[in-house]
Chains A and B, each alone.
Chain A
C-alpha cells in the first residue's frame, strides 16, 4: 500500500502529472455531481428554436433538438468514465490473473497462454470489436463493458508476467517457498504488490484508450444508442449540423480530448515514477 502511495506522490510532484490529476478530478466530480445541477439532457424545451449558440442559460449552446449541450456533455462524462473505468478494471483484473498464472506456474500453461496472447495482440482491437458488434445488434451497456474489457487484457498480462518472472529471479520467492509458505500467500503478498505499479500505469492509460474506443464505436452507431448522451454519439448527431451549430459537435470532442489527455498525463507521470529511466 505504501508503495502505491509513494508512486502517487511522486506522480503528483511532476507538474504534468499534477495537471492531469486535477483535470481528471474535475471531470470526475462534474460527472458525479453535474447531472443533478443541470437540466435534463433528454429534454427538448423548445424544438422550434434549436441550435442556439452558447450564451446565457446555455453555456455550451443547444443542439438542433434544443437540448442543452453542457448537460449532455456532463451526462456523457458519466457514461464515458463509467464504461471506461469498469472495462479497465475488468481488463486489469484479467491481465493480472493471467500474468500471474503464466509467470508463476510456467511450463506448458505459460506457453499456451502466451501463444494465445500473441495471437490476440496481432489482431487490432477495433477489428475484433467491430466484428462482434456488427453481428450482435444492440448491445446493452453491461455487455459493451464486458466485451471491451475482455479484449483489453492481453498487453497487461504480458506486463504482469514479466514482473512475476523478474521477482522470481530475485530469490525471495524461493525463500518463501522453502519456508513452506502457501502459494496463495506468495501470490498475494509478494508477487502482486510488486506488479501493482505497472498495473496502475496500465489502468490509467487504459482509461484513456477505452474512452476513445467507446467514442469511436458510438460514432459508428455500434456503442451507446441514442438518445442516451454519449460523447461519440453526440459527435455522430452533430455531423449534419456542423455548419449551422458547430458547438454541438465541438464540445463533446473537447471533452474527450481533455479527459483522455488528463488520464494520459497522469498515467505518464505514474510511469515515470515506476520506471525513472523512461522519464
Chain B
C-alpha cells in the first residue's frame, strides 16, 4: 500500500516543483528590469571575433561589425550625409582634431581624454600598431587591400599621428578613419599576430568605445556594459544585449513577443504587423543593399563569344523599358523602396545628385525588340528569331525571399512583351559558383555597398574583380578614375559614369530600398546610422516611466 501511495505522490511533487520554479523565474525577471536600464537587440549572426584587423574571411560579418563598433572607437565618425570625399562631413571621435599638411599627408591629434577599458590612455603608438597589423596582407588580406593607398603611419610625440598617402585623391580621410578602428598595442604587442584570434583577448576584447565586453553565451547572446567614464559622454543605457536568432521568423517572434526591444531590417511583408504593435516605433533607414538584373554579355558556355541574345544593347534596353520597376519596388518594399539610377544604393552620397530613374515604356520596348529581328512567328506569345525563342534563364539564390518574390513578378511582366523567363533558384554556394564563372544569362544580383563609391569599379570597371558579366567601357573607367582621384568635382564625375552605365544598359537596376528598423518606444533620442545600425546607441536614452514586467 505504501508503495502505491508514494507512486501517486510523485507526479504531484513534480508539478509543485515545476510551479515553484516558474514563479521564481518570473519574479526574478521582474525585479531585474525595474532597476537597470537595458536594451535587447535581436541580430541574425553572433559576434565571434569583434576585433578590428581580425574581421577577415568569414569573420567579416555584420554580427562582428555591430559589436566591434560599440567596443572600439574610430579616429573619426562619418556624419549624417555619409560624404566620403574630403573631411568636411566627419565628426571627431578618438581624434579630437586634424590638419592637412600637404596633398598627401594628414595629421591627427588623439583626444587626451581617450582611455582603453582597462584605464590605460590611448596614444599614437596604438594607432601605429593597429595599422602595422592591418596593412599586413597575410594577416588581414581584406583590410590591407582597402588601405593600400596609405604608405606610412608614424607618430610625432604621444598623441600626434601622421598618415602619408601614395598619391592625392578625394577619400584619403575616409581611408584613414573608416576601415579600421585602433586596437590596444599594450595588450596585443606581446601576442604573435597569427594567434590573436585564439587568444584570451579575442575571447574578451578590450577597446576604447562607449561599451565594454561583459560576456558571450554561445549561440544565444552577447552582453555589453556601458563605460561609466567614457570621455564623449556616459551612455545612458547600462546594458546592451545582442541576441542571436539565425532564423528570420524566430527574430520576428522575439521582437513581437516583447523578448527583444530592437531589430534591424524587418522583412517587408511583416512591416504591417510590426506597425500594428503600439509598443514599437518603425524607423526607415537607408540601406546599403542594391538589387539589379545583370545581363551576361558573353556566352555562358564560351566566354570568348558574345551572348547570342544579350550582347545587343537594344535587347537589354528593351528589357529595362519593359519592366514596371516602380510597381515591383512598391509590391515588395512598400513606400520605402526606390528605383535607383545606376548601381547606387541609398547609402551612397552620390544618389542625392543623380537624376531620377526612367519609367517604363512598353511600346518602345516592343519596337526595340522588333528592330533587332525578334518577332512572334508561331504566335505562342514568346518572341523568336531564326527558330530560336527569346528565352532567358534568371538565376537567383534560394536564400533571398525578396529576390524570389520579385523574380515571379518580373517573369510575369516580361511575359507581356514576349520575353520568356525561366526562373532558376539555386542553393547559395552553387549560385555563387555559377555567377563567378559567368555561367548565367541574367543574374539577379544583390550587393551591399560600402559608403565609398569607389567600390563601383569592382563591378563596373573593365578589370573589376566582381565584373562577371564582361561589361567594359573604357570611357566609364576613365571617368571613375577621375572621380576617385578628386580631380574636379567628384560628385559630377560619378554621375557621368552612372549615366554612361545606364545608357549602355549593362543591367536593369531594380531596387535601392530603405529598410524598416523597429525600436521599442520607451527609448528616446533614437537615431539609426545607415552604415552601421547601432553606432549611435550611446546617445539614446530610456524613458523614465518604469517598465511593467516584460510582457510575458
Contacts and interface: CB of A to CB of B under 8 A. Distances in A.
Contact of A51 (B269, B408, B425): B269
Nearest to B267: A240
Given A137-B426, A240-B267, A221 B398 contact: yes
Nearest to A248: B269
Given A240-B270, A241-B270, A243-B252, A65 B408 contact: yes
A239 B267 CA distance: 11
Interface string B240-265: 00000001110011001000000000
A226 B331 contact: no
Given A221-B427, A240-B267, A243-B270, A44 B409 contact: yes
A137 B429 CA distance: 11
A26 B200 CA distance: 64
A227 B273 CA distance: 25
Nearest to A221: B398
A51 B423 CA distance: 23
B141 interface: no
B426 A48 contact: no
Interface string A226-263: 11000000000101111111000000000000000000
B249 A239 contact: yes
A121 interface: no
Given A239-B249, A243-B273, A47 B327 contact: yes
Given A65-B405, A137-B426, A226-B425, A240 B248 contact: yes
Contacts of A48: 327, 330-331
A225 interface: yes
A64 interface: yes
Contacts of A227: 408, 423
B450 interface: no
A242 to B, nearest CB: 6
Nearest to B271: A244
A243 B401 CA distance: 16
Contacts of A44: 408-409, 412
Given A137-B427, A225-B425, A240 B408 contact: no
A135 to B, nearest CB: 11
Given A47-B409, A221-B398, A225-B425, A243 B327 contact: no
B547 interface: no
B98 to A, nearest CB: 45
A25 to B, nearest CB: 34
Contacts of B269: 50-51, 64, 240-241, 244-245
Interface string B320-352: 000000010011000000000000000000000
B544 interface: no
A106 B190 CA distance: 74
A221 B273 CA distance: 26
Most chain B Cβ neighbours within 10 Å, of A44, A47, A50, A137: A47
Nearest to A244: B273
A239 B427 CA distance: 18
B251 to A, nearest CB: 10
A253 B61 CA distance: 35
B426 to A, nearest CB: 7
Interface in B395-413: 398, 401, 404-405, 408-409, 412
Interface bin, chain B: 20 to 34
B430 interface: yes
A239 B330 contact: no
Contacts of A242: 249, 252
Given A44-B408, A65-B408, A226-B404, A240 B249 contact: yes
Most chain A Cβ neighbours within 10 Å, of B249, B269, B327, B405: B269
A245 B270 CA distance: 9
Interface string A96-124: 00000000000000000000000000000
Contacts of A239: 247-249
A232 to B, nearest CB: 14
A50 B398 CA distance: 21
Contacts of B248: 239-240
Interface string B419-445: 000010111001000000000000000
A247 to B, nearest CB: 13
B272 interface: yes
Given A47-B331, A137-B426, A226-B425, A243 B408 contact: no
Contacts of B398: 221
A140 to B, nearest CB: 14
Contact of B401 (A47, A221, A240): A240
B437 to A, nearest CB: 15
Interface in B222-256: 247-249, 252-253, 256
A137 B425 CA distance: 10
Interface string B197-217: 000000000000000000000
A244 B267 CA distance: 11
Contacts of B405: 64-65
Contacts of A65: 405, 408-409
Nearest to B334: A48
Nearest to B405: A65
Interface string A126-155: 000000000001000000000000000000
A14 B172 CA distance: 83
Contacts of A241: 269-270
Interface string A193-229: 0000000000000000000000000000100011100
B422 to A, nearest CB: 12
A68 B252 CA distance: 25
A102 B133 CA distance: 70
Contacts of A51: 269, 272
Nearest to B328: A47
Nearest to A245: B269
A244 B423 CA distance: 27
Interface string B85-124: 0000000000000000000000000000000000000000
Contacts of A221: 398, 427
Interface in B263-298: 267, 269-270, 272-273
A172 to B, nearest CB: 52
13 contacts: A47-B327, A51-B272, A65-B408, A137-B430, A225-B425, A226-B404, A226-B425, A227-B408, A237-B401, A239-B249, A240-B269, A243-B253, A245-B269
Given A47-B327, A227-B423, A243-B252, 17 more contacts: A44-B408, A44-B409, A48-B327, A50-B269, A51-B269, A65-B405, A65-B408, A65-B409, A137-B430, A221-B398, A225-B425, A226-B425, A239-B247, A243-B270, A243-B273, A244-B269, A244-B270
Interface of A: 44, 47-48, 50-51, 64-65, 137, 221, 225-227, 237, 239-245
Q: Which 10 A-B pairs have the closest CB atoms?
A: A244-B273, A47-B331, A64-B269, A239-B249, A243-B273, A241-B269, A240-B267, A244-B270, A240-B401, A243-B252
